């Protein structure tokens, strides 16, 4: 069947987890390929309500293999807690495999993420403070420590000693805080290694084998296209690529293995942390979306900034990801809205921009040009077919398809597994 990537098309929190949870029913494997525990994927199913940060959202289906790929960065404390919590709720986690190549988030990464945010003061990026920027920086400058390193204690100790000497110099001399203890980190991480050992493997070959057998493999994206380090609103971005293309590298498979790319987008748009957001609503409408949509961060609890659907940003996201289908989530949040707006272009100085600017300071000065569509009364949460939706809701969807030139194949009308309208089948293609 091949590989289907399911990735975020906005600034994260689009509902990727629930789309994966649904499609996983037909899949053989789900692979996380980027990010770390900055991700927070909410899944509601018969086991309960879960906020997954590292474990793939396919974990609830015991028949499939769940992989944390080489492109993910892992905080072992968070991962072990997540595994424990799943087991506590009766979820079998024995089908989880963690790449030995994945990099480890160390205590100094978390500390440095916070110190750097403090240092930036008013210019803080609003990171999740999970150590994401520092760990990816270390990966690239070859100072990282990987999951597989935990399996050889002597090697781990000598690597940690060398890296920590350098990190402690930065902590004490640049930031003027206390150094970290080699012994404490060593003992803690050796214990993590012992607990994680049964899960560690060479995952690229496992995924390759599944692809070769013609199985259905889902790539579970984290974050969203507009947080991409290259194409997002730099520097207000994350530190690994959330794009479908990164799925190939972060899982260790050929880009030609990916046969479909599903972009998950909300019916409106949200953002957590700093950075430009042209359609942000700082009024009671934004407040209403936040309250109705429970728009508070799954990882940090921060209130999310809310705004109208931004078709300029979505078109850009489609361009850089190559979405074959869209999954539009949270449509029910608009129940009872007298009208709904869609941003179709930006106004910058006296010019009309139809494309997403590469310069964040220009984006910050863009005013949205919106069209207004009639709303519906609702509630739509009990509706299970496209034709059952109010005509205004169908009109909203078809206008989006027209503006984006991409089919909407799923529409969610509530958070539960069955509250997803399947407009077109994607698995039979
Ligand atoms: P999921 O997978 C929404 C944002 C942070 C911050 C910026 C950089 O749940 O969609 P970082 O800690 O990555 O260095 O922070 O990126 N961010 C997310 N926003 N959803 C996420 O993940 C995010 N992961 C990071 O808020 O603005
Ligand atoms: Mg999230």
Q: Closest ligand to 38 CA? A: 1
Under DSSP, is residue 173 helix (H, G, I), strand (E, B) or coil?
helix
Q: What is the 3-state secondary structure (H, E, C) of 181-213?
A: CHHHHHHHHHHHHHHHHHHEECHHHHHHHHHHC
Nearest C-alpha neighbor of 229 from the set 278, 298, 275, 277: 275
Mean pLDDT in residue range 14-28: 95
In Å, the largest CA–CA distance within the chain is 66
Quick one: pLDDT at residue 86?
A: 97
Quick one: pLDDT at residue 32?
A: 98
Q: Give the number of residues written for the chain.
A: 429
Quick one: pLDDT at residue 429?
A: 65
CB-CB neighbours of 398 under 10 Å: 12
Mean pLDDT in residue range 163-182: 98
Task: Examine the pLDDT at 299 and tell me if it is beyond 90.
Answer: no
Dump the DSSP string for 307-345.
E-EEHHHHHHHHHHHT-SEEEEE-GGGGTT-SEEEEEEE
Q: Closest ligand to 277 CA? A: 1
**Tens of pLDDT, residues 381-395:** 999 999 999 999 999
**Ligand 2 centre distance from Cα of residue 305 (Å):** 13
Under DSSP, is residue 241 helix (H, G, I), strand (E, B) or coil?
coil
Q: Is the CB of 310 within 6 Å of ligand 1?
A: no
Mean pLDDT in residue range 217-246: 98
Nearest C-alpha neighbor of 323 from the set 36, 26, 19: 19
Of 51, 128, 300, the residue with max ligand 1 atoms within 8 A of its CB, to mutate for a pocket test, comes to: 128
**Ligand 1 centre distance from Cα of residue 408 (Å):** 25
For β-strands 408-412 and 269-271, DSSP reports them as unpaired
Nearest CA, atom 23, ligand 1? 223
**Is 294 labeled as catalytic in the residue annotation?**
no
Q: Which atom of ligand 1 is nearest to the CA of 275?
A: 27
Nearest CA, atom 16, ligand 1? 238
Confidence band for 262, pLDDT divided at 50, 70 and 90: very high
**Is 41 labeled as catalytic in the residue annotation?**
yes
Quick one: pLDDT at residue 59?
A: 97
How far separated are the first and last CA of the chain, in Å rounded? Answer: 9
Nearest CA, atom 27, ligand 1? 273
Confidence band for 107, pLDDT divided at 50, 70 and 90: very high
Q: Is the CB of 150 within 6 Å of ligand 1?
A: no
Q: Which atom of ligand 1 is nearest to the CA of 224?
A: 10
Q: Is the CB of 38 within 6 Å of ligand 1?
A: yes
**Ligand 1 centre distance from Cα of residue 338 (Å):** 32
Mean pLDDT in residue range 215-238: 98
The chain-wide mean pLDDT, for the chain, equals 97
Separation CA 344–CA 199 (nearest Å): 47
Of 52, 127, 130, 330, the residue with max ligand 1 atoms within 8 A of its CB, to mutate for a pocket test, comes to: 127
Q: How far is CA 130 from the centre of its chain?
A: 14
Separation CA 370–CA 351 (nearest Å): 15
Mean pLDDT in residue range 112-129: 97
Quick one: pLDDT at residue 428?
A: 64
Mean pLDDT in residue range 243-251: 98
Q: Closest ligand to 39 CA? A: 1
Measured CA distances, 46 to 43, 50, 94, 413 (Å):
10, 11, 19, 18
Nearest CA, atom 11, ligand 1? 127
Q: Within 13 Å and on the Cβ side, how many CA atoms surround 173?
A: 6
Mean pLDDT in residue range 73-79: 98
The answer to whether 105 and 77 have CB atoms below 8 angstroms apart is no
Measured CA distances, 125 to 121, 239, 275 (Å):
9, 12, 7
Q: Out of 13, 149, 228, 325, which one is annotated catalytic?
A: 13
Q: Which atom of ligand 1 is nearest to the CA of 302?
A: 26
Quick one: pLDDT at residue 298?
A: 81
Task: Examine the pLDDT at 82 and tell me if it is beyond 80.
Answer: yes
Nearest C-alpha neighbor of 347 from the set 325, 331, 330, 369: 369
Q: What is the CA radius of gyration of the chain?
A: 22
For β-strands 420-422 and 408-412, DSSP reports them as antiparallel
Nearest C-alpha neighbor of 60 from the set 74, 44, 71: 44
Q: Closest ligand to 298 CA? A: 2
Quick one: pLDDT at residue 410?
A: 98
């Amino acid at each position: 069947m091949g590989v289907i990537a399911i990735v975020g098309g906005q600034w994260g929190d689009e509902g990727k987890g629930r789309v994966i949870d649904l499609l996983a029913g037909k899949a053989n494997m789900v692979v996380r390929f980027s990010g770390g525990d900055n991700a927070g994927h909410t899944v509601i199913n018969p086991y309960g309500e879960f906020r997954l940060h590292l474990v793939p959202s396919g974990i609830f289906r015991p028949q499939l293999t769940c992989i944390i790929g080489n492109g993910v960065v892992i905080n072992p404390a968070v991962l072990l807690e997540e595994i424990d919590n799943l087991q506590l709720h009766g979820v079998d986690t024995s089908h989880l495999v963690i790449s030995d190549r994945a990099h480890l988030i160390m205590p100094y990464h978390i500390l440095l993420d916070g110190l750097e945010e403090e240092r930036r003061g008013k210019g803080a990026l609003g990171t999740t403070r999970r150590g994401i920027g520092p760990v990816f920086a270390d990966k690239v400058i070859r100072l990282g420590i990987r999951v597989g390193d935990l399996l050889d204690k002597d090697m781990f100790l000598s690597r940690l000693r060398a890296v920590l000497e350098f990190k402690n110099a930065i902590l004490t001399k640049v930031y003027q805080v206390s150094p970290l203890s080699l012994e404490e980190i060593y003992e803690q991480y050796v214990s993590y290694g012992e607990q994680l050992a049964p899960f560690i493997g060479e995952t690229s070959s496992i995924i390759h084998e599944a692809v070769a057998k013609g199985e259905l493999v889902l790539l579970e994206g984290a974050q969203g296209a507009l947080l991409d380090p290259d194409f997002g609103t730099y520097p207000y971005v994350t530190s690994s690529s959330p794009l479908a293309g990164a799925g190939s590298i972060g899982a260790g498979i050929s880009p030609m293995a990916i046969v479909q790319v599903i972009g998950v987008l909300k019916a409106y748009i949200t953002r957590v942390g700093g950075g430009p957001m042209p359609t942000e609503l700082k009024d009671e409408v934004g407040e209403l979306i936040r309250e109705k949509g429970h728009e508070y961060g799954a990882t940090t609890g921060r209130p999310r900034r809310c705004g109208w659907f931004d078709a300029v940003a979505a078109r850009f996201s489609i361009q850089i990801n190559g979405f074959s289908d869209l999954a539009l989530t949270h449509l029910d949040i608009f129940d009872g809205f007298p009208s709904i707006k869609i941003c179709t272009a930006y106004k910058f100085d006296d010019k009309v921009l139809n494309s997403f600017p590469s310069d964040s300071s220009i984006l910050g000065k863009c005013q949205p040009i919106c069209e207004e569509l009639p709303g519906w009364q609702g509630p739509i949460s009990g509706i299970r077919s496209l034709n059952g939706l109010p005509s205004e809701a169908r009109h909203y969807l078809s206008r989006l398809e027209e503006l984006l030139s991409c089919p909407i194949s799923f529409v969610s009308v509530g958070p539960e597994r069955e509250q997803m309208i399947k407009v077109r089948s994607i698995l039979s293609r």
